[in-house]
């Protein structure tokens, strides 16, 4: 089952963060359908582990009209690798540099209309530097003790997909590391 653009889709909006393309596709059976696609350069999210806690950010998101606790995250700039973007965002948003970055999941955010790939990184060995949030960012740090991460996930109180996936990546990583250290 395949779809093909009948002609190159038209860019109907182009902004600082994304662009929107629209056009017609032909399905395998010949049916013509309309498609709108949001184009995005890709993003990163960071699971910073500081001592015995994960550092989340709390910020107001106009899209959902409330504050939310989530992982520090941001776009991949042109010429950056995902890890370079993750290191930059960690320092800009939270004021930390990481001694070690471990790649986690990479996934499409919402394949029905968005081509963004989000890359998660676990950050260990954090050292404090100076945070440099963008002018329009209002960020507060939230510390979640590692011993509460599983309970938080099981309670289904998190609303943000990158945060849920990133914290599960951390749980899986720590479980695996614990098995290796225990010799089993």
Q: What's the pLDDT score for residue 137?
A: 67
pLDDT at 125 over 80: yes
Q: What average pLDDT is seen over the chain?
A: 91
User: Do both 35 and 50 map to the same domain?
Assistant: no
Both 20 and 53 in one domain: the answer is: no
Asked if residue 10 and residue 80 are part of one domain, the reply reads no
| 13 and 57 belong to one structural domain | no
Both 73 and 18 in one domain: the answer is no
Both 70 and 94 in one domain: the answer is yes
How many domains in the chain? Answer: 2
Residues 6+ apart with CB under 8 A from 3: 25, 26, 27, 28, 33, 35
Q: Are residues 15 and 88 located together in one domain of the fold?
A: no
Answer yes or no: do 17 and 87 share one domain.
no
Cβ 123 vs Cβ 98: under 8 Å: yes
d(CA 148, CA 103): 22
Cα dist. 5→20, 28, 33, 131 in Å?
Answer: 15, 12, 10, 44
* pLDDT score recorded for residue 184: 42
Q: What is the reported pLDDT for 179? A: 55
Say if residue 101 is in the same domain as residue 136.
Answer: yes
Domain of residue 9: give its range: 3-39
- The reply to whether 92 and 176 lie within a common domain is yes
Which helix (H) or strand (E) covers residue 13, if one does?
A: strand 10-14
pLDDT tens digits, one per residue of 10-67: 999 998 889 999 999 999 999 999 999 999 999 999 999 999 999 999 998 888 899 9
Nearest by Cα to 69 from 172, 139, 145: 139
Given this model, what pLDDT does residue 130 score?
A: 80
Residue 114, classed as helix, strand or coil, is strand
> Does residue 26 sit in the same domain as residue 67?
no
Residue tagged 């709390």 (tokens): 58
Q: Are 67 and 143 found together in one domain?
A: yes
Rounded to 5°, the CA angle 116-119-121 comes to 160
Over residues 54-107, the pLDDT tens digits come to: 999 999 888 889 999 999 999 999 999 999 999 999 999 899 999 999 999 999
Contacts of 30 (CB under 8 A, 6+ apart): none
Q: How far apart are CA 56 and CA 94, in angstroms?
A: 9
Instruction: Give me the CATH number covering residue 65.
Output: 3.90.79.10
């Amino acid at each position: 089952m395949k779809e093909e653009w009948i002609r190159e889709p038209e860019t109907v909006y182009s902004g600082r963060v994304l662009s929107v393309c629209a056009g017609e596709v032909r399905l395998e059976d010949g049916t013509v359908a309309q498609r709108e696609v949001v184009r995005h350069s890709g993003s990163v999210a960071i699971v910073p582990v500081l001592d015995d806690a994960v550092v989340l950010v709390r910020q107001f998101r106009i899209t959902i009209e409330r504050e939310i606790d989530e992982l520090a995250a941001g776009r991949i700039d042109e010429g950056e690798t995902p890890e370079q973007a993750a290191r930059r965002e960690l320092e800009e948003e939270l004021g930390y540099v990481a001694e070690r970055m471990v790649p986690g999941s990479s996934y499409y955010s919402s394949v029905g209309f968005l081509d963004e790939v989000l890359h998660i990184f676990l950050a260990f060995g954090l050292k404090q530097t100076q945070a440099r949030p963008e002018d329009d960012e209002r960020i507060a740090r939230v510390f979640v003790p590692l011993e509460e991460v599983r309970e938080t996930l099981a309670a289904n109180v998190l609303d943000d997909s990158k945060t849920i996936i990133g914290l599960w990546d951390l749980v899986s990583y720590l479980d695996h590391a614990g098995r290796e250290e225990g010799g089993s």
